[in-house]
């Protein structure tokens, strides 16, 4: 859901159900979102911590899609959960290298889920995650040379059209007909025959 979607509605509509739980067990899924986010923390001086927040979409036993999250603290410590998570996803960059957050999206995964109760609410937590190597990652196909050529031709044609429109969009007020140019008047007698082929 985006802010623009809500602004168009101009109302707040609460859905009938917002299922965020699944039974304990193992599920196949796919990562659909990754971001660095700030969370409250009792253990830091400023009361905040940064996490690598990854959303995983899984299918429950009823065929319904459920979004779960895994959010280890942002830390490059060898014993940290973030490094272990990146290793299990086969996405851990080499020392001195980096990884784009977009590379963490679209990864087929196998997760183990356990439910915990907190303040009277039941939450489904991902306690283990690893890349599902039996599933192939769907990557965008690379454009062919012909597709690149067609795109370049279309762009060049659009630029020519824009230039032509700009050239011809000047109205007649821009033209100064009283300038030093003279125009000859031509008078035709009614008897003169005009052959259009001679023009």
Q: Which of 42-46, 48-52, 137-141 has the lowest mean pLDDT?
A: 137-141
Question: How far apart (Å, rounded) are the C-alpha atoms in residues 106 and 70?
Answer: 15
Q: Give pLDDT, residue 32.
A: 93
**Average confidence score pLDDT of the chain:** 78
82-93 residue pLDDT tens: 999 999 999 999
Write down the pTM of the prediction: 0.58
Round to whole Å and give the CA distance between 34 and 54: 4
Please write the tens of the pLDDT for every residue from 176-191: 545 445 555 555 555 5
Among candidate residues 77, 78, 81, the one with its CA nearest the CA of residue 54: 81
> Over the stretch 88-110, which tens digit does the pLDDT of each residue have?
999 999 999 999 999 999 999 99
Tokens of 60: 């429950």
Backbone angles phi, psi at 181, to 5 degrees: -80, 145
Query: DSSP alpha helices (H): ranges in the chain?
Result: 3-9, 81-88, 145-168
């Amino acid at each position: 859901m985006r802010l623009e979607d809500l602004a168009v509605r101009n109302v707040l509509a609460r859905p009938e159900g917002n299922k965020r739980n699944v039974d304990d067990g193992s599920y196949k899924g796919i990562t659909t979102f990754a971001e660095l986010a700030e969370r409250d923390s009792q253990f830091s001086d400023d009361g905040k911590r940064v996490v690598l927040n990854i959303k995983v979409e899984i299918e429950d036993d009823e065929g319904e899609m459920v979004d779960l999250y895994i959010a280890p603290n942002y830390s490059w410590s060898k014993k940290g959960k973030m490094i272990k998570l990146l290793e299990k996803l086969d996405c851990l960059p080499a020392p001195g290298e980096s990884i784009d957050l977009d590379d963490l999206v679209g990864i087929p995964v196998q997760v183990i889920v356990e439910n915990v109760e907190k303040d009277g609410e039941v939450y489904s937590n991902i306690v283990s995650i690893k890349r599902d190597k039996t599933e192939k990652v769907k990557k965008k196909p690379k454009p062919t040379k012909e597709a690149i050529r067609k795109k370049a031709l279309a762009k060049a044609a659009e630029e020519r059209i824009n230039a032509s429109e700009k050239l011809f969009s000047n109205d007649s007020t821009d033209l100064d007909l009283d300038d030093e140019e003279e125009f000859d008047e031509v008078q035709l007698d009614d008897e003169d025959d005009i052959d259009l082929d001679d023009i």
